[in-house]
Structure 1
Amino acid sequence: MKSQFMTYVREQMHTSRYARKTIEAYTLWMRNFIIFHKMQHPKNLSEKHVEAFLTHLANEKLVSANTQSLALNALNFLYKDILKKPLALNMKFRRSNIKRKLPVVLTKAEIRPLLQQIPPRYQLQAQLLYGSGLRLMECIRLRVHDIDYHYGAIRI
């Protein structure tokens, strides 16, 4: 069962025209924050609680710096835009020093058997994802007018 508070947060983010994936990510981190503090309402929690949660992510969960920043941005939105109690800029929490893992790139010989397993309807999209480095949503939203035939390029 979804809480009325989280439903309200989702509605506010939707009204503010946040992307669906951003809404999902932010509400996930807000939920994790609430669970971490034993289901206390965020209006009853202070910046010290935010600092404790972010430090927990770095020390115990060993999240990357980008993930910790995402959690901070979600909580900043929660306190600034929803609860109207902006967080201080000088919060003291342990910053994660775990670097982002670079993806392993498959060679042409390694990717060929994988692409052959994909149904023909989706092969071109898969080839574009592999060959051009497009993100999934960029590929899904690609239209004919995005292709520049003169330069042999795709405009995103």
Structure 2
Amino acid sequence: MDDIKRRLPQRPVRFLDQLRQHMRGAGLAYTTERTYIHWIRRFILFHRKRHPKEMGVPDVENFLTYLSESRDCSVGTQRIVLNALVYLYVRFMGIPLDGLRFTHAKRPQRLPVVYSRAEIASILAYLNGAARLRVQLLYGAGLRSAELLSSRVKDIDFASNNIIVRAGKGNKDRTTMLPQALTGDLRRQIGRVELLHAQDLADGYGEVYLPDALARKYPNAASEIAWQYLFPASRPGPCPRTGVVRRHHLHPTALSKQIRCAVKAAGIHKPARAHAFRHSFATHLLEEGYDLRTIQELLGHSDISTTEIYTHVVNRGGKGVKSPMDRLVITPNLVQEPTQAYC
């Protein structure tokens, strides 16, 4: 239940708890909160547990330079750390960070891992049941793993052939396509969830976690089938916020393990990542001629420049660029191979 916000005291005393409370008041996504807190804690430990109020611009510069020069962090990571420290000083403590000078990270952005259609078919061949359906949705709908696992029964709209993504990256809602080939499997999965939920109710712990606002607005929703997770965990556990025993969704590590095993069994020599199926979704749509704007909306990218990275992965674009090697007509080699190499 790593994605459930921990309860904070009404009047926090600890510095990081006060910071967490401020972030929640500002409406930051919980993933952003956890990331910022992680890097702010590392910033404090790097400076031997000095309080941030005792530090300033030079200390921020030293930490950012350390990450670049000693830790070889990526450009994206350094940018996230900078955003976290700007939030800490400017938004939380009201201390400006003017004139920052630090060594910028130089590690370039890497191209995404993309599986071919044949490779995806091979991976799916080594998966069964709900595990196979999860990977099919990652690829067929372009979902992030967190979006997939947090999906609830009500988010599958068979009437409009849409999957509704709630509170995705950036805490934004969006819709993406529901692959027609998966309709039957999804209905059967919902049927399994209904049976499991009925058993949970009989055992006395059939409520699912809901954010505070929804739990107050719809007090009976937690026990309704519509709000149950599409891919529930194998067993219930205590909620870290309230201590109530509930069945949460499948843990991301379980999904990652299933994908690693299938990729290895398929003999594919590429990194086994859940996010690679989302990359493959976008790349294959681009190869089929869909425009970047459509793909951007399906992926939920706020900036089209993020979507444009897939143009660097496509082998056959609209311009039909081919290697000059593919145009050569090579005659058979009629000369006997020499016994001694010339080079």
TM-score (norm 1): 0.82
1:66 deviates by 0.7
Query: Alpha-carbon deviations, 1:50-83, whole Å to 9, x = none?
Result: 0010000100010111100000000000001221
Residues 61 and 118 of structure 1: CA distance in aligned 2, closer, same or farther (over 3 Å): same
The one-letter amino acid paired with 2:137 is: L
Aligned counterpart, 1:19? 29
Unaligned runs of 5+ in 1: none
Aligned counterpart, 2:124? 115
Unaligned runs of 5+ in 2: 1-12, 163-175, 178-297, 301-343
Query: Which of the numbers 104, 114, 119 marks the counterpart of 1:95?
Result: 104
Aligned counterpart, 2:203? none
CA–CA distance in structure 2, aligned partners of residues 129 and 149 of structure 1: 16
The one-letter amino acid paired with 1:14 is: R
Aligned counterpart, 1:70? 80
CA–CA distance in structure 1, aligned partners of residues 69 and 159 of structure 2: 46
Q: Which of the two has higher C-alpha Rg?
A: 2
The one-letter amino acid paired with 1:72 is: L
Aligned counterpart, 1:58? 68
RMSD: 2.5
Aligned sequence identity (%): 34
1:117 deviates by 4.8
Correspondence 1:6 to 2:16: yes
Correspondence 1:49 to 2:45: no
Give the helix-richer structure, 1 or 2.
1
Aligned counterpart, 1:80? 90
CA–CA distance in structure 2, aligned partners of residues 75 and 138 of structure 1: 27
Aligned counterpart, 2:135? 126
CA–CA distance in structure 2, aligned partners of residues 130 and 51 of structure 1: 41
CA–CA distance in structure 1, aligned partners of residues 127 and 34 of structure 2: 28
CA–CA distance in structure 2, aligned partners of residues 132 and 32 of structure 1: 36
Pairs within 5 Å for 1:128-147: 128-139=137-148, 140-141=150-151, 143-145=155-157
TM-score (norm 2): 0.40
Aligned counterpart, 1:104? 113
CA–CA distance in structure 1, aligned partners of residues 77 and 108 of structure 2: 10
CA–CA distance in structure 2, aligned partners of residues 134 and 54 of structure 1: 32
Answer with 135-144 or 12-21: which moved more: 135-144
The one-letter amino acid paired with 1:39 is: K
CA–CA distance in structure 1, aligned partners of residues 39 and 141 of structure 2: 31
